[in-house]
Amino acid sequence: MSTPNDTSQTPAVATAYWTVGLEKGELRREELPVPGPGEALVRSLYSGISKGTEIVVHNARVPECVAEEMAAPHQVGSFPSPVKFGYLSVGVVEDGPADWLGKTVFCLHPHQDRYVVPIGSLTEVPDNVPARRAVLTGTVETAVNALWEAGPRLGDRVAVIGAGLVGGMVAQLLGTFPLGRLQLIDVDPAKRAFAEALGVDFSHPDDALPDCDIVIHCSASQAGLERALQLVGDEGEIIEMSWYADRNVTLPLGEDFHARRLSIRASQVGVVARARRHRRTTADRLKLAVSLLADPVFDTFLTGTSGFDELPGVVQRLSDGSLDALCHVIEYPGTEQPEDPAHAPATETTR
């Protein structure tokens, strides 16, 4: 029998995903601290792979000049590696303040089966939002911030270039606005079905309608940004959501860019958009984002599920292109399956 001073007891451990080298990730066990005052122990149910940013980390392409700004809230280690990185986690509170026990929560935490964080880092998931869908909270938050940046108005003509996870999310939210026109634009004709599932008009870049009031660029390609300059109307604004990491981009700013008085403005979720910064906190923004996920249409963005032990291989397959996904979901051991089989998530082999 152990005594209060017995230091031989085995400490609680957790397992987390680490990027440990160029295109190399692994699961590592680590000691789990005991929750202190104002902290909670969370058991993970699901996490989502934010493909764009996490593959940049996997490929060691985070520029040194922005390494500090790109650090995730609960990241451990530093770029390029070893680093524990990620920010789309949903779990249940198993220990901590009594009023949080048993609650399903979202946290901007790396892929890890159990973790201890301050209560202020948690966003409660509403009862009408399934835990699996709630992994999208961080991506919805990114889209909300972009729309606060863009400030679409009644009757606006808006184009979203890039029908990936972020672009699709922005288009989905814009579809709830009283716009005059909205197009989701992508070079891949297969994205038409995705746009139709969101109820948004789809167009190839060559066929997209010009004279837009706002163009939101999410394709992370030079060609996409060039097309944005062509589609935006005089004195219109382009909201640039793409992150190019260490790639250089060249634009034709010597043509009619100045004559038409165009603007390109960056949107980055690290801070609340300037238009709302004095009246909204990041916690407010996350609470809004998770509430929007009550709409089942967001299940369209969840394009496969794998077990936690498969995570290193899944990240590599996303990196080399052998696995295509918008948001790939990681399921943790012990997660209960949905009660309604008709709404059970598909695995990557059945999608």
* CATH number of the domain within which 216 lies: 3.40.50.720
Per residue in 80-130, pLDDT (tens digit) is: 999 999 999 999 999 999 999 999 999 999 999 999 999 999 999 999 999
180 burial type by CB count under 10 A (0-12 exposed, 13-18 middle, 19+ buried): exposed
Domain that holds residue 53: 13-126+294-343
Strand, helix or coil for residue 253: coil
Q: CA-to-CA distance for 222 and 244, rounded, in angstroms?
A: 9
Q: Are both 146 and 233 inside the same structural domain?
A: yes
Task: Provide the b/e sequence for 34-55 (b: ≥16 CB within 10 Å).
Answer: ebeeebbbbbbbbbbbbbbbbb
Give residue-wise pLDDT tens across range 57-81.
999 999 999 999 889 999 999 999 9
In this predicted structure, what is the pLDDT of residue 249? 93
Please, which residues bridge with residue 14 across strands? 30
* 144 plus 262 within the same structural domain: yes
- Asked if the model's pLDDT at residue 345 lies above 90, the reply is no
Tell me what the mean pLDDT of segment 215-229 comes to. 97
Rounded Cα gap, residues 207 and 193, in angstroms: 17
Q: Which residues of 81-115 are buried (b: 16+ CB within 10 A; e: fewer)?
A: bbbbbbbbbbbbbeebeeebeeebbbbbbbbbbbb
351 belongs to a structural domain: no
**Residue 117 within a domain:** yes
Q: Which of 6, 7, 15 is nearest to 333 (CA)?
A: 15
Q: Are residues 150 and 261 in the same domain?
A: yes
Helices (H), 255-307: 282-292
- Is the residue at 1 inside a domain? no
Please indicate, yes or no, whether residues 35 and 114 belong to a single structural domain of this protein.
yes
Q: Tell me, what's the pLDDT at 9?
A: 56
The whole-angstrom separation of Cα 176 and Cα 298 is 13
Asked if residue 134 belongs to a domain, the reply is: no
Residue 144 and residue 253 in one domain = yes
- Does 164 reside within a domain? yes
Q: Is pLDDT at 315 greater than 50 in this prediction?
A: yes
* Chain mean pLDDT for the chain: 93
Of 20-24, 65-69, 163-167, which range is least confident?
Answer: 65-69
6: in domain: no
In tens, the pLDDT along 125-155 reads 999 999 999 999 999 999 999 999 999 999 9
Round to whole Å and give the CA distance between 245 and 267. Answer: 15
Same domain, yes or no, for 185 and 231?
Answer: yes
> Does this model's pTM top 0.95?
no
Average pLDDT over residues 31-51: 96
Instruction: Tell whether 252 and 145 lie within a shared domain.
Output: yes
Number of domains in the chain: 2
In a domain, residue 281? The reply is no
Residues 40 and 74 in one domain: yes
The CB-side HSE value for 335 (13 A sphere, CA atoms) comes to 28
pLDDT of residue 336: 66
Considering the domain boundaries, does residue 42 fall inside one?
yes
pLDDT of residue 335: 81
